[in-house]
Structure formats: C-alpha cells, structure tokens
Amino acid sequence: MATDLVPEVVRPAADSSRPAPPPKRRPRDLRRDLLRYRWLYLLLLPGLAYFLVFKYLPMYGLTIAFKDYVPFLGYSGSEWVGLKHFQELFTGPDFGRLMFNTLLLALLTIVFVFPAPIVVALMLNELRVNVLKRSVQSLIYIPHFLSWTIVASLTYLLFSVDFGVIANWIHGVLGGEKTDYVAQADWFRPLIVLQLLWKQTGWGTIIYLAALAGVDSQLYEAARVDGAGRWRQFWHITLPAIRPTIVVMAILTSGNLLDSGFEQIWLMTTSLNRDVADVFDTFVYYVGITQGAFSYATAVGLFKGVIGVLLIFGSNWLAKRLGERGLF
C-alpha cells in the first residue's frame, strides 16, 4: 500500500501555552481521500457495480406499475395510466383478503417462528455435554437444506387422508372422522407454521449460539460466587447478552413481513384452501406470470416493497426508542 505518499502536514500549535489540543481533524477532502485510499475504493467498485446493475437499474422497470404495459410497445411506448393499477388493487375484491392473509401469516410467524430459534439456542446453551449439544445442533439444521418442494411433498405424504402416516396416527389416537389435513382450509395455517418451524428453527439457532458463545464466562463465575442459580444466571447474563442480536434480527425480519415465502405457500395451495392461502406473493405470480398482467403485478409488488421499507424504518425507530441500538 502506498498510503504514506502524502505526508502529514504538521501544523504549529496555535497556542503553545495551552495543554496539547487533541489532534485536529482536517476538513474532509474527498479527492485526497480517494487518492489516499484508492486501493480500498477500487475494491469497493465491484460491489457498487453489482448493486447498480442488479438492484438499482431494474428499478426502472417499476415504472410499468404506472403504465398499461404492453411488452411489444416497450417501456417508452406503453401508455402512462398514473395510479390506475394501485386503485384497482386497493378497491378490488381481493385486497382485503390478501392483506388479511398476509398479515395473519406474518403475525403467526412473529409469534411462533421468530422466537423458536431463540428458545432452542438458549436450551442448547444450557446443555453441558458438548458432544450432545453439537450433534443436536447439526441434526436440527438439516431440514434447512431441503427445498420447499420436498417439504411440501413430505407434508402431503405424511398428512394426506388415505396414506398419510401422521394423519393415520392422529386418527388412531383421537378416533372419529378422518381429516384431510392438506385439503382443509382450517389446517392450512397450522401446517404452514409447522413447516416453517421444522425447516428454519435449527438454522436460525446458529446466530444466537454465536452470540451466546461470545459471553464472557467470567460473568457466570462471578455470578455463581455471588450465589446466583441457573435461572438467575440465565436471566441476568445470558438473556441480556443476546438481546442486541434479537433486536437486530427482529428489525431485519420486519422488512420481510409481507414476504410470505412464495414457494411454500404456492405449493400448499389447493382449490379448497385458496381463500386463506392467497397472499401478495402468490397473487403477484398468479396475476403476473400466469395471467400476463405485468403492470398490475408490478403495482402489487411495489406496494409490498414500500410497506417493507416502512416497516424496517418503523421498527428501527421503535428499537431506538426502547433504548436499543437499532440497525442504522
């Protein structure tokens, strides 16, 4: 590195009688900075290019949400229609149902799926036998690597009314009429949550376990000397230690609240549960790809994106108000 090419300018102290002032920051000079750290900036370029090409340029395509887009006419040729598609979405018969389904799934995710890795990580942390801890940990993150297609097939296989192993088992225990879990609308949300728990919990523990590994063991020793039991140690040391991680994860999750996971939902949708299964993600696919209503689908997607951004800023603000550090 050739950062030392520009010599520091030594300035005489203004008043030598005073105690040595803190080294003064020179006013920022971008050009100098660029020159000085040129190699670092060079390293930044590919990343910038990536975001520009794959994240920002495509945003131009969002303009079709405000047009009656006909591919043959292209972006410039298609007619501007202002907010027509948004109006259609908000006043259309589907909006209420989509919003309700999406929000309810989001709520269920927050209540059941989000805390699960925290609980499991804390439990694993209490395990003192290292071998056991490691093997449990590895075992529970295997499902993360299975695709949703496989998870959905497994669900059908285990819960279908005629051959489903679990379905038959429940029937055996509870008796009564056989239930078709995969077809019934009432079972759609429980199944979705169960699938999420099964697939994501183990994987989610990784970050919390990492946070827990960083806790200074002296704290525990000190607490024990002071007579703190397991519970006290957990309450006063472990939990505060991972609180920042939880907050950051919560903020990040909030941005994706309306992302219900297209693949999972789509695979589990049938004629019988469509009313409760339709969410923005599947709707965008259905309208955009299978019906070719590109403008409308883009409008829906854009609306979803805007809500996501608002939620991120909102929860970040909330976190700061609650005395946490927040994301930015």
Partner 1 sequence: MSTLPRLRHKIIAATSLALSTALLAAGCSGGSDDADQQAGFGELTVMTKLFGTAPDPNGEMQQAVEKLIGKKLKVTWVPNAEYGDKANVTLASDSIPDVMVVNEKSPSFVKAAEAGAFWDLTGKLDKYPNLKPADEQTAKNSMVNGKTYGIYRVRPALRSGIVIRKDWLAKLGLKEPETVGDLYAIAKAFTEQDPDGNGKKDTYGLIIPKWPGNYASASPYDVIETWFGAPNGWGERDGKLVPGFDTPEFLEANRWLKKWITEGLVNKDFATLDTGNWNDPFVQGKGGMIIDVNVRATQLLDLFKEKNPKDFDKVTLIGNLKRDDGQKFSYPFTGYNDVMAISKQRIRTEAQLDDVLKTLDKLQSKEGSILLTNGIEGRNFEVEGEYAVPINQNDPKVKAIQNDVDKAFIQLGTRASVGLGAYKVKPADEASRKMRESFDVLMNEDLKTAVHNPALGVIAPTSVAKGQTLDTIVPDARIKYLSGAISEDQLKAQIKRWYDGGGTDIAKEVNDLAAKAGG
Using CB under 8 A as the criterion, which residues of the chain lie in contact with partner 1 when the complex forms?
Answer: 54, 57-62, 64, 69-77, 92-94, 147, 149, 152-153, 156-157, 160-162, 178, 180, 182-185, 262-263, 266-267, 270-272, 274-275, 281, 284-294, 296-298, 301
Instruction: Output b/e per residue, 52-76; b: 16+ Cβ within 10 A.
Output: eeeeeeeeeeebbbbbebeeeeeee
Partners of 67 in the β-ladder: 80
Nearer to partner 1, 197 or 267 (CB): 267
Least distance in Å: CB of 180 to partner 1? 6
Show the beta-strand stretches assigned E in the chain.
Answer: 67-68, 79-80
Least distance in Å: CB of 218 to partner 1? 48
Least distance in Å: CB of 178 to partner 1? 8
Nearer to partner 1, 65 or 312 (CB): 65
List own/partner pairs for 261-269 with CB under 8 A and 24 or more apart.
261/148, 261/196, 263/147, 263/148, 263/149, 264/148, 264/151, 264/152, 264/192, 264/195, 264/196, 265/105, 265/192, 267/148, 267/149, 267/152, 268/152, 268/155, 268/182, 268/188, 268/191, 268/192, 268/195
